[in-house]
Amino acid sequence: MPVPRVAYFPDSFHEVNGVAHTSRNFEAYAMRGNLPFLCVRAGDRDQSVVQTGEVRSLELMRSRTSIRLEKDLEFDAIFWRHHDAIEWQLKLFKPDIIHVTGPSELGIFGAIFAWKMGLPLAASWHTNVHEYLAKRMRGLTGLLPAERIPGAERGIESATLAATANFYRLAKVLFAPNVELCAMLEKATGKPCHLMQRGVDTSLFTPAKRRRAPEDRNLTLGYVGRLSIEKNIALLVRVAEQLRAMQIEVRFLIVGQGGDEALLREQLPEAEFAGVLRGEALAEAYADMDIFLFPSHTDTFGNVVLEALASGVPAVVTPGGGPKYIVTNELTGFVEKDEDFAASVATLATDRDRLSRMRLAAREYALGCSWDAVFGRVYDAYQTVLNQ
């Protein structure tokens, strides 16, 4: 059967987050296979079209009136000025299916053009916006009496999830990075949901990038991600305090940026803050870690956890969100409640042979993950929809 012509509208592409990371790899997959693929995204080159074989991209600049949601995320209320440019490229490309990643300006455009052109819409869920918003609203909910705060947060989550589900009901097929989210989406929308997991570049992220001397016995705990409240980064400070009380010496290597960076620097004065890293510099940072801590309860997958495992670094993650599906408990790391993170670190700090075995198991697991397999299954789902 002919390969579907896919028009892809990602929420973000050039930024440092899971949606952007997946989107860049999706375009790279299409390039490797020379598949007909149009990526409509925000960028610095206004209404610029670039074509490589069957793959083309349309970049559209956001305006100065954009609302900044995070250091690398914006929403442009007057993005509608790009309507004609998008419509022209879609008419030239003649897609069979349009795929969006959420209710952003790009996602709204994708849904509208799918309706106008009579095309099936695919939508993938990448961010637990309902949980993120509830945590971001703590500045307001924190003003309530303590006994009312949990109920207020549940109300925000429920209302946000209902509103977001209304958008996803527009799609004919849905994608999510783990089975728990797929089940939630199917229940909320009544639409079929397929897995769209994440892959990892095991040639970039590898233990071979480790720069530390073999005799260096210091224990380095790492974190990579946004430094903001929804990532539960306050747990890093608690872990440091608990390990200090156990008289276990560690050092922290923290990669990323975010609104809570200044507070974290103040509370972890001896930590190394590397800022945002990419490519070889990021791979080297991972490889220099001994244990990766990922305290988030809201991530739908956790690209950084898989990158850590590929680098031979076992991870400690929470039972909330998607990372628990990546880590095999007590083999490639630990799936622990917040209060047990420090104990897991202590276990490996006092048993270096076990840490070495976990490092090998982590790398072995990551070698079985590939982007080609991930996106191959997405195209299989497209075919199912188009054959109906």
Could you read off the pLDDT of 259-299 as tens digits, one per residue? 899 999 999 999 999 999 999 999 999 999 999 999 999 88
| pLDDT interval class at 17 (50, 70, 90) | confident
| pLDDT interval class at 146 (50, 70, 90) | low
pLDDT on residue 134: 42
- 34-75 pLDDT per residue, tens: 999 999 999 888 888 999 999 999 999 988 877 766 656 677
Q: What is the mean pLDDT of residues 321-328?
A: 90
Contact between 279 and 307 (Cβ < 8 Å): no
Q: What is the mean pLDDT of residues 109-125?
A: 96
pLDDT on residue 8: 98
Q: What is the mean pLDDT of residues 133-157?
A: 55
What integer best gives the mean pLDDT of the chain? 89
Q: Residue type for 71, please?
A: K
pLDDT on residue 198: 87
| pLDDT interval class at 353 (50, 70, 90) | very high
Q: Quick check: 225 pLDDT over 70?
A: yes
pLDDT on residue 201: 92
pLDDT on residue 64: 82
Q: Which domains does the chain have, with CATH numbers?
A: 6-199+370-386 (3.40.50.2000), 207-366 (3.40.50.2000)
Say which range, 31-40, 56-65, 87-96, 126-135, has the weakest mean pLDDT: 126-135
Q: Quick check: 125 pLDDT over 70?
A: yes
Q: Quick check: 132 pLDDT over 50?
A: no
Q: Residue 108: which of 137, 134, 70, 82 has the closest Cα?
A: 82
pLDDT on residue 375: 94
Give the C-alpha separation, 206 to 209, whole Å: 6
Q: What is the mean pLDDT of residues 216-232?
A: 93
pLDDT on residue 270: 94
Mutual angle of helices 352-366 and 303-310, in 10-degree steps: 110
Q: Quick check: 130 pLDDT over 50?
A: no
pLDDT on residue 298: 83
Q: Quick check: 158 pLDDT over 80?
A: no
Dihedral (CA of 372, 377, 380, 381) sign:
negative
Q: What is the mean pLDDT of residues 224-246?
A: 95
Q: What is the mean pLDDT of residues 311-331?
A: 94
| More confident position, 240 or 138 | 240
pLDDT on residue 2: 87
- 172-207 pLDDT per residue, tens: 999 998 888 899 899 989 999 999 988 999 999 999
| Burial bucket for residue 145 (CB in 10 Å: 0-12, 13-18, 19+) | exposed
